Each structure stands twice: as C-alpha cells, then as structure tokens.
C-alpha cells in the first residue's frame, strides 16, 4: 500500500518558516539576556527592572511578528503561536510581567509603592520601544514576501487609538473584570 506524499506549498510555507525563525530568535536573544542579567546583577530590584525591560522587549518583538502571522496565515495559526509563546513566557519570565497594569493594581491594593510601580512601568516601556528598531531592521531586510514594505508602511490597522485613550480603556475594562469576579470586594 502506497502512502500518499505530503504536498507542501513552498510559497506559503517559506514565509511561515521565516516568521517562526524570527520569533524563535527573538525569544532566544531575550532568554540569553535574561540569563546574563540573572548572573551579573546582584541588586534584586535592579535585576527585576532589567527583566521587565527584557520581557517587554520579547513580548513586543514576538507580537509584532505575530501580526504578520495572523495577517498572512490566519487566526488559527496565530492562536497556536500565541498559545506556545504564552507557555514559554510563563516558564521563563520569573517575576517579570511586561504588563504595567499589575503594578498599578499593586499600588491600588496597597501591595506596592508608587515609585517602584513607576520604575517597573518605565522599564517595560523602554524595552517595548527599544525592540521596535530591531523589528524594523529585520522587516527592512524583506527576507520573505510577507515583510515587503513592512518596515516603512503607515499603520493600516482597523483599530487605531491614541495610546493614552487605549491605556485608560484597558485599565477600565481590567478593573471591571476584577470587580465582576469579586476580587475587589470587601471581606
């Protein structure tokens, strides 16, 4: 009995491999940077700030490429990539969150101070902004068809929102979710 051969569409498959390799490279670079910080930085809070910057850079770098994956290979492929990345991040980030709302919640709930929350948020913002040039440089290489003009094109997303408005909307929704879950109720 003959087994049918698997036919791979190289035109579609090659760009997916390129995106996958970029995401793997980004995660590997972040992993190495995280290990370097853990071995060399002795002050716990400074180490956490650097880990927050690295986590935010990894998150943003991978998610920029995940946009390419979603646009060209569909939501199902995007979902699989995001699921695997979420597991990777949960196993590797340690105490870093790459998410400012957790620090704001800590302040509101009395578990953290404003100065530390500000510094963690600043570190995350710095990591997210610094990684953009790395992604833009990679996209400018135009290794695959899915990256053509990506480094210089204007944003064409359906949903374009001013950053501060988006942040406030997100915080409001997150707070509403927590209230509806009973997490902010008095004992």
The 10s digit of each residue's pLDDT in 73-101 is: 899 999 999 999 999 999 999 999 888 88
Band (116; pLDDT cuts 50, 70, 90): very high
Domain ranges of the chain: 10-180
Identify the band that residue 146 occupies on the pLDDT scale cut at 50, 70 and 90. confident
More confident residue, 167 or 184: 167
Confidence of residue 178 (pLDDT cuts 50, 70, 90): low
Residue 179, pLDDT score = 63
114 pLDDT above the threshold of 70: yes
**pLDDT confidence of residue 6:** 47
Other beta carbons within 10 angstroms of residue 117's beta carbon come to: 18
User: For the chain, what percent of residues have pLDDT higher than 70?
Assistant: 75
Q: How high is the pLDDT of residue 102?
A: 85
For residue 16, which of 61, 80, 60 has the smallest C-alpha distance?
Answer: 80
Predicted TM-score of the model (pTM) = 0.79
Count CA atoms closer than 13 A to 125's CA, side-chain side.
Answer: 10
- pLDDT on residue 9: 58
Q: Kindly indicate the confidence band of residue 23, based on its pLDDT and cuts at 50, 70 and 90.
A: very high
Separation CA 79–CA 135 (nearest Å): 21
Provide the CA 175 distance to its chain's centre, in angstroms: 21
The mean pLDDT of the chain is 83
């Amino acid at each position: 009995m003959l087994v049918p051969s698997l036919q791979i569409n190289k035109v579609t498959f090659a760009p997916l491999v390129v995106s996958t390799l970029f995401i793997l490279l980004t995660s590997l670079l972040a992993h190495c940077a995280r290990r370097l910080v853990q071995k060399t930085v002795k002050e716990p809070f400074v180490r956490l700030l650097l880990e927050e910057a690295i986590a935010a850079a990894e998150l943003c770098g991978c998610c920029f490429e995940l946009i390419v994956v979603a646009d060209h290979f569909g939501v199902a492929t995007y979902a699989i990539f995001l699921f695997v990345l979420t597991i990777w991040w949960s196993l590797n980030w340690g105490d870093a969150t790459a998410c400012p709302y957790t620090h704001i919640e800590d302040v509101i709930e009395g578990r953290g101070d404003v100065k530390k929350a500000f510094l963690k948020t600043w570190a995350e913002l710095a990591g997210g902004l610094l990684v953009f040039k790395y992604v833009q440089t990679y996209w400018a290489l135009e290794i695959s068809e899915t990256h053509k003009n990506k480094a210089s094109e204007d944003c064409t997303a359906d949903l374009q929102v001013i950053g501060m408005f988006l942040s406030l909307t997100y915080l409001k929704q997150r707070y509403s979710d927590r209230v509806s879950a009973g997490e902010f109720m008095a004992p």
